[in-house]
Structure 1
Amino acid sequence: MDGDRLPDEVVLGMIARRLTEAMNQPWQVTGDLAKGPGSLAVALGEDHTGHPGHVDIDFVLNVDRPEDTTISDCATGYGTTPEETVDRAIEIWLGTTGSALLELLAQDGSFAGHYAADDPDGFPGWHTIHGGITGWGIGDDFQAVQHWAADNPLAPHLAPALGGSFERDHLIGVKAFFGSGGDSETAEIRVNGVHHEAASQALAGLPWPRPADGMSYARTFLLLVHDETRDGVGDEVRDETA
């Protein structure tokens, strides 16, 4: 969709409304932030695409310590108007990345699932929250990749490529976006908003479906909460989300 980008304050207002509905607690726009209960806030990251439906979202668990408690991600929506397109991007973010972040706060399984550090379907050594899985496409098999992702946890396949590459020992956000259509194929991993080439190649090498006709794509998000091999880190994260 062509058109001008919505003003930041409008986008933040749309995010605040969505989070208010999801958490049943008030969020409101204050300056360049959408502020929620306690120390929670959302800021908009720097636009790196120029696409009017692309939104870069920085979810901050503690506004007094943004460098240690910010989980960054982005999403692109689609629609016939700028408002519809951005709202769809926020919906995609909330259903994947947002679900993992809200589960970090809730800690009761109501938003997303948990994997212990020793779970064979999890990320070795890390407590992991697995956000929702969204999918879209065209044709009879448009949900094929989404269904595959639900049946085949990505964390143990990505761990060898990701291990040792993190800049901190807590709150690592890992987004996966992959699928194919026609002659085009995409397999991308972003870690805290930054493209990770080795993990993207690992994802591309997995046997997810490539429908011969139409297209099928999926997106999901893993939140690696804390490295359980390091003493005290789990307590620190729990303090930030209390």
Structure 2
Amino acid sequence: MSEDRLPDEIVLGMIAQQLAAAMDRPWHVTGDLARGPGSLAVTLGEDHTGHPGHIDINFVLNVDRPGDTTISDCATGYGTTPEETVGRAIEIWLGTTGSALLELLAQDGSFAGHYAADDPDGFPGWHIIHGGITGWGIGDDFQAVQHWAAANPLAPHLAPALEGSFDRDHLIGVKAFFGSDGDSETAEIRVDGIHHEAASEVLAGLPWPRPAEGMSYARTFLLLVHHEGRDATA
């Protein structure tokens, strides 16, 4: 695969196309923005990896107030061409992070699930939206971690390590990426795109499956919408 990265305007166009299809609403690229309906927009973060399939996506709920309405996350795809690799990264983002963000707009359960502040499977004190769970790997047990994540909600396990580490009381994005390939394993929590060491250690200590052969990985996203008794500023 060529190591050349696609130009940002091409990547934004691909994101706009997939969001338009998911929402059945028009999106278009204007300069360094992909603009959606109303105040929605997407920008790209700076290339900090050099990997042609790694993209940093900033989803802006209100383009006039990006400071407190932007949810940032990244994704890395794979494929045989830059277009295929970036397309896969966008699909991964849309199936996890994007599904939670679109559900924030829809509020009807069509994209992702809601957990109330007092739900035992949720995040205590916060209303959260749980994005989709994607998985990939090699071998007979390649879906093992994905299936475990679907049956074992992460939020109540991560909450003690995460509580008190947020710099705002609404729209906190928490990404989980974890799995193993037999010889090594990964367990990473990112909060608004930044690695969270304590929560990552908690994730590493959970009893998700580690297949002896092949590989199995999962990724999911939690959107902490607002603290109990407060409304999201979207």
1:161-180 residue pairs with structure 2 within 5 A? Answer: 161-180=161-180
Matches within 5 A, 1:142-161: 142-161=142-161
Amino acid at match of 1:161: A
Distance 2:213 2:89 in 1: 26
Q: Which runs of 5+ in 1 are unaligned?
A: none
Give the corresponding residue for 2:50: 50
The aligned residue for residue 3 of structure 2 is 3
CA distance in 2, matches of 1:36, 1:102: 12
Partner of residue 33, structure 2: 33
CA shift, 1:3, in A, is 1.5
CA distance in 1, matches of 2:40, 2:133: 24
Structure 1 match to 2:108: 108
| 1:206-225 alignment, distance < 5 Å | 206-225=206-225
| Greater shift in the superposed pair: 147-156 or 40-49 | 40-49
CA distances 1:115-156 after superposition (whole Å, capped 9, x unpaired): 000000000000000000000000100000000000000000
Q: What's the counterpart of residue 123 of structure 2?
A: 123
Code of the aligned partner of 2:202: A
Residues in 1 aligned to 2:63 and 2:20: alpha-carbon distance in whole angstroms: 18
CA distance in structure 2 between the aligned counterparts of 1:147 and 1:200, rounded to whole angstroms: 20
- The amino acid across from 2:221 in the alignment is F
TM-score, normalisation: structure 1 = 0.95
Q: Kindly report which structure 2 residues correspond to 1:185-224, keeping only aligned pairs within 5 A, or say none.
A: 185-224=185-224
Cα distance in 1 between the residues matched to 2:157 and 2:28: 39
- In 2, distance between residues paired with 1:205 and 1:182? 16
Shift of 1:182: 2.4
Paired residues of 2:182 and 2:210 also in contact (CA < 8 A): no
Q: Aligned residue for 1:139?
A: 139
CA–CA separation in structure 1 for the residues paired with 2:48 and 2:120? 36
Report the Cα offset of residue 205 of structure 1: 0.3
Are the aligned partners of 2:135 and 2:219 in contact in 1 as well (CA < 8 Å)?
Answer: yes
Q: Deviations over 1:140-186 (max 9, x none)?
A: 00000000000000000000100000000000000000000021100
Q: CA shift at 1:47, angstroms?
A: 1.4
Percentage of pairs with the same residue: 86
Moved over 3 A (4+): none
Cα distance between partner residues in 2 of 1:182 and 1:122: 31
Q: How far apart in 1 are the matches of 2:2 and 2:186?
A: 23
Q: Distance in 1 between matches of 2:220 and 2:195?
A: 15
The residue type paired with residue 10 of structure 2 is: V
Structure-2 separation of matches of 1:82 and 1:165: 37
SS of equivalent residue, structure 2 residue 64: coil
- The runs of 5 or more residues in structure 2 that have no matched partner are none
Question: C-alpha separation between the residues in 1 aligned to 2:225 and 2:59?
Answer: 14
